Amino acid sequence: MATTTDRGRKLLENSPIFAALDEHGRREFVARAQPRRFAAGAAICHVGEPGRSMMAVMTGTVRVSLPSAKHREVILADLTAGELFGEIALLDGKSRSADVTALTNCELLVLERRDFVPLLEGNTSVCLKLMEMLCARVRRSDERMIDVAFFDLSMRLAKTLLNYPTSGQGPAKLSLSQKELGEMAGGTRENVNRCLRDWERQGIVELKDRWTIIRKPDALQQLVDLR
């Protein structure tokens, strides 16, 4: 059975950010990183808290979100094994910019700022890869704002369904509630329900046992391509 160290090293080997490190460098970095476990539903960090680390998901799924008015939230992303978060606060040493919650039981690898910043100072390739990751996230954030400002819910919801990470073979299945889909796509639960029911009548999706099953992804892609 793989140990935490083995899983951590494998994660770093597969991460573009750490690909520039040699085997010794990865082993040294994993040795300094600290594994942490969180139960499903547990808060990992909150907006405004001091940010002294970046975290990598080894197992499970975490949700990155922002609180909004009327006790709602904006869901920014659900991250699965191999993905990183917390890089903004780690780099500038300031407070966290989002809430992160464990959606499932999960195991994280915590990379402390005091260990990570010297790595950046001594390795240009790692710096460039981290900059690429940050730029990609800024682009996604800009695209999301444009979508909410200029495009209707059906396009945004189609994009949300197509982009959400799924596993397994056959039609993509999402266990997200309609409230969660609304918080991802920028719409109310009621409007999401109307849109999904309309797509169900057209055979584009199937709503079954709290699952949203995508039957015609090409039809959803056509909606996205209209933007």
Q: Domains, the chain, ranges and CATH?
A: 4-148 (2.60.120.10), 152-225 (1.10.10.10)
What are the phi and psi torsion angles at 186 (to 5°)? 80, 45
The confidence band for 1, taking pLDDT boundaries of 50, 70 and 90, is: low
Q: Tell me the C-alpha distance between 206 and 87, whole Å.
A: 38
The two most distant CA atoms of the chain are separated, in Å, by 58
- Cβ count near 12 (within 10 Å): 22
* Side chain identity at residue 70, one-letter code: K
Do 90 and 51 form a contact (C-beta atoms < 8 A)?
Answer: yes
Query: Which of the residue ranges 14-18, 52-56, 91-95, 152-156 has the most confident prediction, judged by mean pLDDT?
Result: 152-156
| Residue 115, pLDDT score | 82
213: enclosing H helix or E strand: strand 211-214
Rounded average pLDDT over 156-183: 89
* Side chain identity at residue 192, one-letter code: V
Count of all residues that appear for the chain in the document: 227
Between the two ends of the chain, the Cα-to-Cα distance in Å is: 48
Q: 55-85 pLDDT, tens per residue?
A: 999 999 999 999 876 667 889 999 998 888 9
Query: Could you tell me the pTM of the whole model?
Result: 0.82
Q: Tell me the C-alpha distance between 12 and 18, whole Å.
A: 6
* Side chain identity at residue 151, one-letter code: F
